[in-house]
């Protein structure tokens, strides 16, 4: 590799260490996949991978472990590129394999690329990233940088990427409200609120009768549901009329479909995760750099499968917006580290740590919304046709989902452990989410005041 302006050699931050421990228990990866048309060669992809590795310091690290200490050290290895034969690959299968395959943290780099081609000059390019060095927004930035260079067949030098040098972890950039004494007080309030909600609403219901933690052999499977441009526009318009949002509508469909898995008359206690981008809240703010800069907001409620769709959606929007307004996700970013220290997880093996995580940080469902993706459709000679995302839930929960809107088409990805979601249950749940969204659009009544 070429010389790089920044060499990282530092201890992992407390949050980065927690995520490494999680990854040792069950893979904690995410994959960004794009389908492109146009000329794409192995030579150009390798050059593009070298460029993004030169640009982003965290793509040039491995993780050394000595006892309970974890440390970023430089790796001289290039980002690996594997080309698959089209006859041996389909997008869902390859993405599943990627999110279920752990990184060898001690070897690095903590990113890899898969590429396969179909007839007619259509290519699938997949970037898989260890969550300790990135989040969904980071993945989109990496994909944009990769395609910018890979699409510049005629003039590579015109697309040399600016090298970045900031690699400070999120928990070392939190504002005063999340640090020191103020941070301790606000985290205590956050934990007390969670306990109060468990008392008032009941502990969150789960997909499994007895919560089995995602340990190694719990393979995550993926299902996609893609919606047309007309449907995507109609959902956004209806959400606005209902004083809600697309994210809240999708969350309502997921939560109500989750409630449908239980007895018809039962009230179900739901704890629904919504990752929140807190880049602008950090000091200094995160911009173009790659890193884990997301926290969580939660929708908590007791619901029944027959509850009104748009009333539920408005409740989701109100709760999430209220938490963001009060900077709750910023405080929530400190909770994993405090939980880790409180239970002295350094002294525990992976199984015991995972059991604690399941008991005290469990949730029912989750939705990561990357929104309308700011990704051009044309990169030189390449045209981006489709975009898919997936993440392994690891020990965080039994179910998660991601959604992107690209080319004005909404794509919803469902990630579920195979043992918890046999084919019949998986198909039923995905179909129920689509059915509820379709019904919400066709219902001529408005429940908005």
Instruction: Give per-residue pLDDT as tens, 223-241.
Output: 999 999 999 999 999 999 9
Q: Cβ atoms within 10 A of the Cβ of 296, count? A: 20
Instruction: Give per-residue pLDDT as tens, 161-192.
Output: 888 988 899 999 999 999 889 999 999 999 99
Instruction: Give residue 2's pLDDT.
Output: 43
Q: Say yes or no to pLDDT of 443 above 80.
A: no
Q: Write out the two tokens for 418.
A: 């195979």
Give the confidence band of 351 by pLDDT, cuts at 50, 70, 90.
confident
* Angle formed at CA 337 by CA 57 and CA 172, multiple of 5 degrees: 40
Q: Which domains does the chain have, with CATH numbers?
A: 10-159 (3.30.559.10), 170-372+393-442 (3.30.559.30)
For 370, half-sphere exposure in the C-beta direction (CA atoms, 13 angstrom radius) is 28
Q: What order do you get walking across the sheet with 220-226 strand by strand?
A: 220-226, 409-417, 400-406, 368-372
How far apart are the two ends of the chain, measured CA to CA in Å?
61
Q: Write out the two tokens for 244.
A: 């809600």
Give the confidence band of 202 by pLDDT, cuts at 50, 70, 90.
very high
**DSSP label at 377?**
S
Give the confidence band of 265 by pLDDT, cuts at 50, 70, 90.
confident
Instruction: Give residue 1's pLDDT.
Output: 44
Instruction: Give residue 215's pLDDT.
Output: 55
Whole-number mean pLDDT of the chain? Answer: 90
Q: Cβ atoms within 10 A of the Cβ of 202, count? A: 12
Q: What order do you get walking across the sheet with 268-277 strand by strand?
A: 294-303, 268-277, 365-366
Give the confidence band of 15 by pLDDT, cuts at 50, 70, 90.
very high
Task: Note the pTM of the prediction, 2 decimals.
Answer: 0.94
Q: Say yes or no to pLDDT of 433 above 60.
A: yes
Instruction: Give residue 30's pLDDT.
Output: 95
Q: Say yes or no to pLDDT of 157 above 70.
A: no
Give the confidence band of 213 by pLDDT, cuts at 50, 70, 90.
very low
Q: Would strands 400-406 and 409-417 be described as parallel, antiparallel, or unpaired? A: antiparallel
Place of tokens 């008359």: 265
Instruction: Give residue 211's pLDDT.
Output: 47
Is residue 399 within 8 Å of 202, Cβ to Cβ? Answer: no
Lowest-confidence segment of 87-91, 327-331, 351-355, 437-441 by average pLDDT: 87-91
Q: Distance of CA 376 to CAs 140, 223, 372, 384, 430, Å? A: 11, 25, 11, 8, 29
Is residue 272 within 8 Å of 254, Cβ to Cβ? Answer: yes
Q: Would strands 10-11 and 69-74 be described as parallel, antiparallel, or unpaired? A: antiparallel
Give the confidence band of 88 by pLDDT, cuts at 50, 70, 90.
low
SS3 387: strand
Instruction: Give per-residue pLDDT as tens, 133-149.
Output: 999 999 999 999 999 99
For 272, half-sphere exposure in the C-beta direction (CA atoms, 13 angstrom radius) is 33
List beta partners, residue 295.
276
């Amino acid at each position: 590799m070429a010389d790089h302006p920044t060499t990282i050699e530092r201890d992992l931050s407390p949050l980065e260490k927690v995520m490494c421990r999680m990854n040792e228990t069950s893979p904690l990866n995410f994959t960004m996949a794009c389908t492109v048309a146009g000329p794409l060669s192995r030579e150009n992809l390798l050059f593009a991978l070298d460029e993004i590795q030169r640009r982003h310091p965290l793509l040039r690290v491995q993780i050394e472990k000595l006892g309970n200490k974890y440390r970023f050290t430089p790796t001289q290895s290039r980002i690996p590129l594997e080309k698959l034969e089209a006859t041996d690959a389909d997008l869902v299968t390859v993405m599943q394999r990627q999110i279920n395959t752990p990184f060898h943290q001690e070897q690095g780099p903590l990113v890899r690329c898969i590429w396969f081609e179909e007839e007619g000059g259509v290519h699938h390019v997949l970037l898989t990233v260890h969550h300790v060095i990135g989040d969904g927004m980071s993945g989109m930035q990496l994909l944009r940088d990769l395609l910018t260079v890979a699409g510049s067949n005629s003039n590579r030098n015109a697309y040399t990427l600016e090298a970045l040098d900031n690699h400070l972890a999120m928990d070392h950039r939190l504002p005063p409200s999340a640090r020191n004494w103020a941070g301790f007080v606000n985290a205590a309030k956050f934990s007390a609120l969670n306990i109060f909600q468990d008392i008032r609403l009941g502990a969150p219901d789960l997909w499994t009768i007895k919560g089995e933690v995602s340990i190694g052999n719990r393979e995550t499977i993926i299902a996609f549901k893609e919606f047309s441009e007309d449907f995507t526009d109609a959902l956004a318009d209806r959400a606005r009329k209902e004083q809600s949002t697309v994210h809240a509508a999708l969350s309502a469909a997921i939560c109500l479909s989750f409630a449908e898995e239980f007895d018809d008359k039962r009230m179900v206690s739901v704890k629904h995760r919504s990752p929140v981008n807190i880049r602008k809240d950090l000091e200094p703010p995160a911009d173009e750099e790659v890193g884990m800069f997301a926290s969580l907001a939660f929708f908590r409620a007791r619901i029944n499968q027959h509850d009104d769709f748009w009333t539920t959606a408005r409740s989701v929007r109100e709760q999430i917006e209220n938490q963001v307004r009060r900077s709750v996700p910023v405080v929530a970013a400190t909770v994993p580290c405090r939980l880790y220290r409180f239970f002295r997880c350094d002294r525990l093996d992976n199984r015991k740590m995972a059991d604690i995580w399941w008991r005290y940080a469990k949730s029912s469902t989750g939705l990561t919304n990357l929104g309308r993706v700011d990704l051009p459709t044309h990169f030189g000679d390449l045209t981006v046709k489709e975009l898919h995302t997936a993440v392994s839930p690891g020990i965080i929960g039994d179910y998660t989902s991601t959604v992107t809107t690209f080319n004005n088409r909404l794509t919803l990805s469902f990630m579920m452990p195979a043992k918890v979601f046999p084919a019949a249950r998986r198909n039923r749940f995905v179909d129920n989410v689509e059915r509820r969204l379709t019904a919400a659009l066709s219902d001529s009544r408005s429940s908005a005041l």
